[in-house]
Structure 1
Amino acid sequence: MTDSAPAAAPPPAAHRPATAVILAAGLGTRMKSDWPKVMHPLAGRPMLRYLIDNAAQVFDRIVVVIGPGMEQVAALAAPHATVIQHDRLGTAHAALQAADLFGTGDVAVLYGDNPLITADSMRRLLACRRQDGAGLALMALRPAYPGRYGRVVTDDGTDGGLVQRIVEWADASDAERAVTLCNAGVLCAGAETFRGWLRAVRNDNAKGEYYLGDVVAMAVADGRQVRAVMAPEDELRGINSRAELALAEASVQRRLRHAAMAAGVTLVAPDTVFLAADTVLEPDVVVQPHVVFGPGVTVRRGVEIRAFSHLEGCVVEPDAVIGPYARLRPGAEIGTGAHVGNFVEIKAASLGAGAKANHLTYLGDAAIGAGTNVGAGTVTCNYDGVFKHRTTIGAGCFIGSDAILVAPVTIGDGALIAAGSVITQDVPADAMGIGRARQANKEGRAATLRAALDKKKKEQG
């Protein structure tokens, strides 16, 4: 008897495409701003980017609905498709503008001013639609203060029950207002079904607008299962005003701080440290209180950032010490083991390994070599009123206090610049540069001058 051939493996399930439609046409009137609402930043990044970046981890296609004249938003959304809602007639009308790009799979409608939904929550929304058999899945929350949120009414009063209806706060009874399960407005359904529901939405309401929330009642009326997917309040926080923007900023900062500490960074007083969305802090970095990171900062292992420092657009190499009260501006490159002290500002300049600039100094458009010591009050005069010029300082130099280096100028390796000098010409390696007037002492002149001034003061009464 021969062995039978192994059974053939079942064919892999066909991939079902998914499309995210992000509504971003709102003007944000309550923001009192000339900017489109979704361009306002959180941790230095426009809020729309958060939603796009997270959605890109989950969905095959992203379509952003924008308003007319929103070229900035279209550029921010690139390379994803954009469609224009020429007339702002409500959220269902906005979603309908993208209907031709829904494709054949599942479609989720998200809001650009609700930017903090994580990729994990988006995946759970899709899973509810695909695995739990929901004809329509929606995102819901239980906020600490439900306020004027629309209420989600389920058949058994639980989060896992079938959704029967969404009741807007203004239309809710006292019993319905007591419900704490609230609607976030995010919906997911099959593309063809979703298109049909959107086309059927009517605008017979006080504002004459087409509301996306009406799709829920349509799904229930069609006998479809409607289920809620829970997400934390911090993720589902909408942003319609400057106050709400500040609340969202606080939420983002909490996430960033926790992520940094989980990665091995010490934040001595976390609530006083402000990070940008792209801040890179390697393990064993120590950040003291009241430090602000702008966009584009990378800090390597073992660095200490002391209190009240501000960093943006810079790289700090291992074991350097920054601050307190230091400012690193775009283009600053701080070498391994270098020190940047109090009230030192560095812009478009590199400070070599082990170099020090510890007090009251401005270094702009400059390159400072390894092991060089820059004394208090040193200034690289890099701007002539029209053009910027560079200062180059070699390795192992000593720049005395209150030196003024007028660029373009080069200081050779090992050179010494005398305190109080104004340097306008290159200084060779191992030379001493002195650029100050010769001192002259006038014997007895101080006493004579004081007597003359005292006499004049008495005469003036």
Structure 2
Amino acid sequence: MNSPSCATVVLSAGLGTRMRSAKPKAMHEVGGLPMVNHVLRAVAPLSPERTVVVVGPDMPDLERAVAPAQTAIQHDRQGTADAVKAARAALDGYAGHNATVFVVYGDSPFLKAETLQRMLDARDEGAAVVVLGFRAQDPTGYGRLIQDAGGDLTAIVEEREATPDEKAITFCNSGVMAIEAARLFTWIDRVGNDNAKGEYYLTDLVAICREDGGRCAAIEAPEAELQGVDSKSDLAAAEDQYQQSCRRAALDAGVTLRDPSTVWFSFDTRIAPGAEIGRNVVFAPGVTVEEGAVIKDFCHLEGAIVRQGAEVGPFARLRPGTEIGGGARIGNFVEVKNAVFGEGAKANHLSYIGDASVGAKANIGAGTITCNYDGYLKSRTEIGAGAFIGSNSSLVAPVSIGDGAIVGAGSTVTHDVDQDAIAVARGQQVAKDGAAVKFREGRAAQKAKQKAEK
């Protein structure tokens, strides 16, 4: 976006006591990403010169989550103006010509860059303070935005102070603001705390700006875009809203969803047109599915790439570092972790393939596992192109199976197998004629004796 200069302050110091969680409110996830990171992604297209996330004391996880954004600590949590004041040092010297400071909230994951751009445009047209509002279906509890006949914002009236006519207004304050940088802290220093909570509210800037002859404006966005999260119930509603949006976008892009309401996306899920997704599929972060790939029912994918025309599932799990090559097949109850399957390779049943590479057109038999962990270190298994691994085999890493090699069913392979060799590593079969009859007779007699003794 081509924008005037701006900086961003993201208010994220809230403990979220109504969330009933030790995790900071802004760290709760929607679509697999902390809410505060959704907000940072919305701000990024405006290329802010500075981004400051205001956190509370002892929030190291939040500070790590927002890096490399700078953080500032609000120690006493005395209201929104106090929170912005905590960012003063981080914004020191930022007051260029027509520069703007956005104040946004870390618990509003649906905020859009396009909306922020409209606020910047209003600043560029001469408004010193721009407030983002929405038309509430139920305005109860919200501050009302009062406008004059020309559309300028004249006041923000809290509901407890509103007249009956003002309470009838449905244009409500979201809290998001764009403020002239040069006068921001001069105005904040004039904010008082003569209110029921004894806190310093950023909304007072509208009155202070107008006292100084500045113009204030209000920009409208859909209520759903400005949904905040204050409780676990709100978080569940936000997740539902996010998933519905992702499902609509996937369908509109040409992805087949067999039962859209049972498919769950993450913030970075990438599914190409022409892919088919079955029922009850979960895409955790870091998944790409290419054109023509099929993900069957009850699969869980995370940190994985599924190439063109591959099939996964049903009941398969792909873990981080996995790449399934074009036309490859991963079947039911197969788990793959940090492994690459070449084109046309197959693991159709009940296998674990971890820390491995599987060559093109190799076949992994049912029950095969790569023994990749010795209790201390992970080691890799290399399976060559066209190799055949018999059912119920254990490949003890580090080990290499050559191109075209065959491993007999039930083998435990601890040494490399050369190209086109056959490896069988299992105990010799021994058969004793009639022994089964004697075994059954003996066990039956023992059982009868125990029963009689009772």
Alignment equivalent of 1:437, drawn from 427, 435, 439: 427
Letter in 1 for 2:256: T
Structure 1 position 343, deviation (Å): 0.5
Residues 199-220 of structure 1 deviation map (CA, whole Å, 9 limit, x = unaligned): 1110111221101112223344
Task: For 1:150-161, list aligned pairs within 5 A.
Answer: 150-155=143-148, 161=151
Matched, 1:141 2:134: yes
- The residue aligned with 2:364 is 374
The answer to whether the 8 Å contact 1:22/1:62 transfers is no
Instruction: Go from structure 1 to structure 2 and tell me whether the alpha carbon gap of 1:364 and 1:78 turns closer, same or farther (over 3 Å shift).
Output: closer
Gaps of 5+ in 1: 1-13
- The residue aligned with 1:290 is 280
Letter in 2 for 1:88: R
Letter in 1 for 2:318: L
- The residue aligned with 1:53 is 41
Residues 281-307 of structure 1 deviation map (CA, whole Å, 9 limit, x = unaligned): 222111112111111212222111111
Normalization by structure 1: what TM-score? 0.89
Alignment equivalent of 2:167, drawn from 177, 184, 198: 177
Structure 1 position 223, deviation (Å): 5.2
Distance 1:16 1:290 in 2: 45
Instruction: Go from structure 1 to structure 2 and tell me whether the alpha carbon gap of 1:333 and 1:51 turns closer, same or farther (over 3 Å shift).
Output: same
- The residue aligned with 1:397 is 387
Matched, 1:106 2:100: yes
Task: For 1:216-255, list aligned pairs within 5 A.
Answer: 216-222=206-212, 224-255=214-245
Instruction: Go from structure 1 to structure 2 and tell me whether the alpha carbon gap of 1:19 and 1:388 turns closer, same or farther (over 3 Å shift).
Output: closer
Structure 1 position 114, deviation (Å): 1.9
Matched, 1:201 2:191: yes
Residues 14-43 of structure 1 deviation map (CA, whole Å, 9 limit, x = unaligned): 984222222222232323333332222222
Structure 1 position 412, deviation (Å): 1.6
- The residue aligned with 1:130 is 124
The answer to whether the 8 Å contact 1:288/1:307 transfers is yes
Distance 1:16 1:405 in 2: 60
- The residue aligned with 2:29 is 41
SS of 2:224 mapped into structure 1? coil
The answer to whether the 8 Å contact 1:55/1:62 transfers is no
- The residue aligned with 1:411 is 401
- The residue aligned with 1:330 is 320
- The residue aligned with 1:10 is none
Residues 158-205 of structure 1 deviation map (CA, whole Å, 9 limit, x = unaligned): xx8343432323334454433322110112232234333211110111
Letter in 2 for 1:122: L
Structure 1 position 359, deviation (Å): 0.6
The answer to whether the 8 Å contact 1:141/1:230 transfers is yes
Gaps of 5+ in 2: none
Alignment equivalent of 2:309, drawn from 319, 331, 356: 319
Structure 1 position 243, deviation (Å): 2.0
Instruction: Go from structure 1 to structure 2 and tell me whether the alpha carbon gap of 1:456 and 1:53 turns closer, same or farther (over 3 Å shift).
Output: closer
Instruction: Report sequence identity in percent.
Output: 48
Structure 1 position 140, deviation (Å): 0.9
Residues 371-406 of structure 1 deviation map (CA, whole Å, 9 limit, x = unaligned): 111111111111112222222211111111111222
Alignment equivalent of 1:355, drawn from 337, 345, 359: 345
Instruction: Go from structure 1 to structure 2 and tell me whether the alpha carbon gap of 1:416 and 1:191 turns closer, same or farther (over 3 Å shift).
Output: same
Residues 42-69 of structure 1 deviation map (CA, whole Å, 9 limit, x = unaligned): 2222222222222121253233223334
Structure 1 position 155, deviation (Å): 4.0
Structure 1 position 139, deviation (Å): 0.8
Distance 2:379 2:102 in 1: 53
Work out the number of aligned pairs and report it.
Answer: 444
Instruction: Go from structure 1 to structure 2 and tell me whether the alpha carbon gap of 1:339 and 1:238 turns closer, same or farther (over 3 Å shift).
Output: same
Matched, 1:83 2:72: yes
